A and B are shown apart, each in its own frame.
Chain A
Amino acid sequence: MPRWLAHLLVVALFAALVALAFARVNYAWNWPAVWAYREKFLLGWLTTIAMSLAALVVSSLIGILASLCLQSRRPLLEAVGRVYVELIRGTPLLVQLLIGFYVIANAVGLENRYVVGVLVLSLFSGAYMAEIFRGGLAAIPTTQRDAARAIGLTPWQSLRFVILPQAIRLVLPPVAGQLVSLIKDSSLLSVIAISEFTLSAQEVNAFTYSTLECYLPLAAGYLLLTLPLSALARWLERRFHYES
């Protein structure tokens, strides 16, 4: 059986099961009520994209810095990196958002909730990025550094022409995967009242009492973003796969 047919078959089977479940609960659909709020959905969806992309850029920078800390020979820098990564990865994003917004941002007088949202999301994602980058650099064999030194490259040239081009190819697929997580995690920004996709759906639900008509498009809207990204991650993985 070709792969595409297998995928289609599984999707069709799953859709049939879901349709059957809906048919049995006799749900009274009210799509027109929700359709009236389509612009609100679109705006929330675009906000989610914008917040996720901004967080991807900032978290990449944070991740690079933190991965340098993790590999530092200075105990204090290594400790900063390790404590940051473990603290962030070990606690819920929900708690980080609430403390970040109501305590830390308040204390330093940062009022723009969109800026705070991007910063907290970036700090959260940066901890995962740090481990991705650290792993990417560690995967380049030391013989490559040896060869770079042997032909007379300076440490900086060795990083630029030998190590980074190989490390970037290695980390691109997991970074694309991290963006998928980031997009879904951004739904929690609703708890600090950022009008992203999830909050839009919640609000429309509050106006119309049409829960499923709000949340089904929500799921579809996220899939519309995450499925192509997953495909991109897999493509990158194949594209940059070569023997070393």
Chain B
Amino acid sequence: MNLVVTDLTQRFAGTTVLDRLSLATGDIRALVLVGPSGGGKTTLLRILAGLDLPVAGRVAFAGRELPRDEAGLQAYRKTVGTVFQAYNLFPHLSALDNLLLPLVQVHKLSPVEARERVREPLERFGLAAHAHKRPAELSGGQKQRIAILRALVVRPACLFLDEPTSALDPEMAAEVLDMIQELKLQGTRFVLVTHEMQFARRAADEVAFVGDGRVLAHGSAAEMFTNCPQPRVRAFFQRILP
């Protein structure tokens, strides 16, 4: 994906959340952001996903700069997908209609084409039987997998996932992680914020440790998890890895 972030700064009500954060990845498929809560991971991901404008700094994907105005960002958001921690499905629509809405209204597929497009993914991930249920009738794991499909069926250039398993019990989290792993094997590019270190180790091509609004360490998954030179990062992994 060749992501290059330069001096990215974000402030909310006077508080600096990202402090001239810089990061340059190789041509990878999966970047995982880890680090302490409140360190700026989600803020960084929201800017990458085109949901927020930074106060300063630049972001470029594969050499192309992110737009700096809302109209440009709206066009950009059509080309990527975002998955939130709390699923954010539309509660008044069935699971199927949640998937069809972006296809029909944003990407201008006919309803027939849109249904055809979602049929196979719904079956592959064992969700076809639940397609006509409202979100309130689905389990947490099912909701999150529908949310991932909603982001995926528009064939995004990159998928942004913000702690997709934090609200789920271990069994449901495993369902969702298996799905992400399968997507990775099929070539989906993604940036993932997670506290699931075992999964990060397995799925990540590169890992960036975000804390205090900066990237404190960055490298391949193997480098980061086994012998990171940064003492603070090493201490973080030692605390949370079994």
Task: Spell out A's residues near B (CB within 8 Å).
Answer: 143-144, 146-154, 157, 161-162, 165-166, 169, 242-244
Contact = CB atoms under 8 A, between A and B. Distances in A.
A156 to B, nearest CB: 11
A161 B89 CA distance: 13
Contacts, number: 64
Contacts of A243: 91, 135-136
Interface string B131-170: 0001110000000000000110010000000000000000
A242 B81 CA distance: 27
Nearest to A241: B136
Nearest to A162: B90
B134 A151 contact: no
Interface in B76-105: 77-78, 81-82, 84, 86, 88-92, 101-102, 105
B74 interface: yes
Q: How large is the interface on B (under 10, 10 to 19, 20 to 34, 35 or more residues)?
A: 20 to 34
6 closest Cβ contacts across the A-B interface?
A: A147-B88, A152-B78, A151-B102, A150-B82, A243-B136, A152-B106
Q: For chain A, what secondary structure do more than half of its interface residues adopt (helix, strand, loop), or is it mixed?
A: helix
Given A151-B102, A154-B74, A166-B92, A242 B136 contact: yes
A61 B89 CA distance: 30
Contacts of A149: 51, 74, 77
A157 B77 contact: no
A151 B155 CA distance: 12
B30 interface: no
A48 B150 CA distance: 50
Nearest to B150: A151
Contacts of A154: 74
A73 to B, nearest CB: 16
Contacts of A146: 51, 84, 88
B86 A143 contact: yes
Contacts of B92: 165-166, 169, 242
A143 B88 contact: yes
A170 to B, nearest CB: 10
B49 interface: yes
Contacts of B91: 166, 242-244
